Structure 1
């Protein structure tokens, strides 16, 4: 297994660079409860991402659950079937009903037309995902949400550092959430964040992530323990020093894949322009078309047998899981694009430590023999 290549690998800076941070934690005795590293990482991340207010969380799922709670929603939330299941689980955790709409064939993001067609009197929010870090159609969703008086929450788990022509993609909607999990472009081992647009909302979110406490003697909401530890925050501060180099290396790998795939019939990749004005190269999905030499699953198993482990992100669709498949909106006839692309997609390995030999090994397995 030592020479196996997996779809991702956490970026780890030199261990000796982390030791001084640990020494400070040991000296202070502060391990959690929004200590000095927590405060500093929130500040530095808000600056780096160019967002007004950022609240750190212990993971991205709790961040998304809390974002939905913070907006005090009921009823139906329209979202995508083409995502990791945490997106729809967060809706259920808040006792709301997920309603699934189809995706656009070019971006694999929620299709605004299909979303607008799914709105009913019970709809209270839209929850798009910036899939693979490629920005959703924020202008269209902003317009739909405004005209129908709906809340707009972006699951931006894949979108650390992504910008459109006007700035951070995280500035859109009522709230956006990030995952800082080990598999993400920027990681804090485990972690997440909510980006909000006002000091009042940040204060509300910060109370919710700390059991709903307001001071020592008052509890004002049914909060949760969503705080990030000082060790995770310290690691995040160190990671920030390396993030630009990590994204640059991801971009080099992406270019190598695109150059090779241009010469292989039956394989497609998403238009690089979809990634925004500043991309983060979080994933490299390819689409294995029917005219390719073998099926997507045959290619997947062939690569695994050779020690290269791509992933079928996202397959199966959320709507095919037992707990969702009986929802009216989960009917596959309503989601033809998502169903088709879930059967074709394959995400190739991409991470900063993947060297040229590894990239060549992946590419060689894509070529029909």
Structure 2
């Protein structure tokens, strides 16, 4: 439904522009016939979990594709991050960005560690070595870097810092499957990198994860902590848990792996169309790949400059969500302001002003399998209409 006047906007009581919700995540699903065939195979074999044939095949395929010695698949990324911290033998405190998913910080608490929240660079939205260096003290055992939006952080920068200061380094690579930095595939940096295969990501097993490392001893510890099945060589570990990936998850991931080249290409086309149509509007700045590294383009995000656009990020999100356009804000707040961390670590409450600003300004647009060119053009026409009428809309929203 096209909007011809401000009163046509759904936030003021009119009909939404889209009849069903447009999701922000990837949600790339294979054809039903492929799913049915894969699951019939699982039921025929009567082998459902415990490091089965599909899980082993997936690990081998990932090792080959990413060029890593070890890919250890697990049930979800938070569990994988917890096990990674235990496998590395971390103690005390770990530096991580405050602009990150809640599960990343929660994995440290579960592993008996304390996070030290680091603010991020306002342009790249990622933690830099320069910022992290100011937080290192004798209690810090590691840095946990986070790749964002399908673009890697600068892992070499953090590697240099970790080496100089004699601490360990690992990465939350949830957004970075298939990405590169300095022509090296993500998965090869630090002591290990942890991928999420949640349905919102470009490679998905509906839910799942993978820890990659080139360190044989760490890989053995990961496998032994994950479960007794598929543990390989026995090595000393502090505990065990059930972090293994099911055959159903592995089947979904293998199909997603087959589809990855096409999904990455579609993501790039979606990104380029959005930026071409909306990048010309005042007050919108897209988070773009740097042109030197490969991106999976799985997230299309931009920042809103309220002074130039004439609406705040919160106001625009409210308008768009009313139209069934799920323009989610990836983080409702920085981790330092969430209830768990705010109460435990009050000294960080005012320590990340850039993160606070990004949480207000950043909007993630619908992308992935649900979107086509016609829908994207409709989304862009709607946002353009909102911008052209922003001052009138802002006055009317005061009464809502």
Same fold? TM cut 0.5: yes
Equivalent-residue separation in structure 1 for 2:235 and 2:279 (angstroms): 61
Equivalent-residue separation in structure 1 for 2:295 and 2:333 (angstroms): 26
Partner of 1:296 in structure 2?
Answer: 313
Deviation of 1:112 (Å) = 1.8
Equivalent-residue separation in structure 1 for 2:237 and 2:160 (angstroms): 33
Structure 1 residue runs without a partner (length 5+): none
Contact 1:188 1:235 survives alignment (8 Å): yes
Equivalent-residue separation in structure 2 for 1:267 and 1:214 (angstroms): 49
Equivalent-residue separation in structure 1 for 2:186 and 2:53 (angstroms): 28
2:195 maps to which of 172, 178, 183: 178
Equivalent-residue separation in structure 1 for 2:236 and 2:129 (angstroms): 39
Correspondence 1:89 to 2:89? no
* Cα distance per residue 1:52-92 (max 9 Å; x no partner): 21000011111111101101111110001101101110111
* Cα distance per residue 1:176-219 (max 9 Å; x no partner): 0010011111100110010011233222211111069968x999
- Across the aligned residues of Structure 1 and Structure 2, the Cα RMSD in angstroms comes to 2.0
Equivalent-residue separation in structure 2 for 1:364 and 1:35 (angstroms): 49
Larger radius of gyration: 2
Contact 2:223 2:231 survives alignment (8 Å): no
Partner of 1:13 in structure 2?
Answer: 30
* Cα distance per residue 1:79-120 (max 9 Å; x no partner): 011011011101111111100011011110013222100111
Correspondence 1:310 to 2:350? no
Equivalent-residue separation in structure 2 for 1:196 and 1:362 (angstroms): 41
Secondary structure of the equivalent of 1:128? strand
Correspondence 1:193 to 2:210? yes
Deviation of 1:352 (Å) = 2.8
1:273 maps to which of 290, 295, 305: 290
Secondary structure of the equivalent of 2:371? coil
Equivalent-residue separation in structure 2 for 1:45 and 1:320 (angstroms): 36
Q: 1:220 to 1:111 in 2, by over 3 A?
A: closer
Corresponding residue pairs, total: 367
Secondary structure of the equivalent of 2:141? strand
Equivalent-residue separation in structure 1 for 2:31 and 2:288 (angstroms): 35
Equivalent-residue separation in structure 1 for 2:237 and 2:175 (angstroms): 32
Q: 1:264 to 1:213 in 2, by over 3 A?
A: closer
Contact 2:179 2:295 survives alignment (8 Å): yes
Q: 1:356 to 1:310 in 2, by over 3 A?
A: same
Secondary structure of the equivalent of 1:285? strand
Partner of 2:13 in structure 1?
Answer: none
Secondary structure of the equivalent of 1:238? helix
Q: TM-score, normalised by structure 1?
A: 0.94
Secondary structure of the equivalent of 1:131? coil
Structure 2 residue runs without a partner (length 5+): 1-17, 390-400
Correspondence 1:121 to 2:138? yes
Contact 1:59 1:191 survives alignment (8 Å): yes
Equivalent-residue separation in structure 1 for 2:278 and 2:122 (angstroms): 19
Partner of 2:270 in structure 1?
Answer: 253
Equivalent-residue separation in structure 1 for 2:157 and 2:207 (angstroms): 32
Equivalent-residue separation in structure 2 for 1:255 and 1:91 (angstroms): 37
Contact 1:214 1:220 survives alignment (8 Å): no
Contact 1:186 1:243 survives alignment (8 Å): yes
Equivalent-residue separation in structure 1 for 2:54 and 2:160 (angstroms): 38
Q: How does 1:126-165 map to 2 (within 5 A)?
A: 126-165=143-182
Equivalent-residue separation in structure 1 for 2:95 and 2:246 (angstroms): 33
1:286 maps to which of 302, 308, 311: 302
Deviation of 1:329 (Å) = 4.6
Deviation of 1:347 (Å) = 0.6
* Cα distance per residue 1:213-242 (max 9 Å; x no partner): 968x99954111001111111121122111
Equivalent-residue separation in structure 2 for 1:75 and 1:204 (angstroms): 20
Correspondence 1:69 to 2:86? yes
Correspondence 1:233 to 2:250? yes
Contact 1:212 1:222 survives alignment (8 Å): no
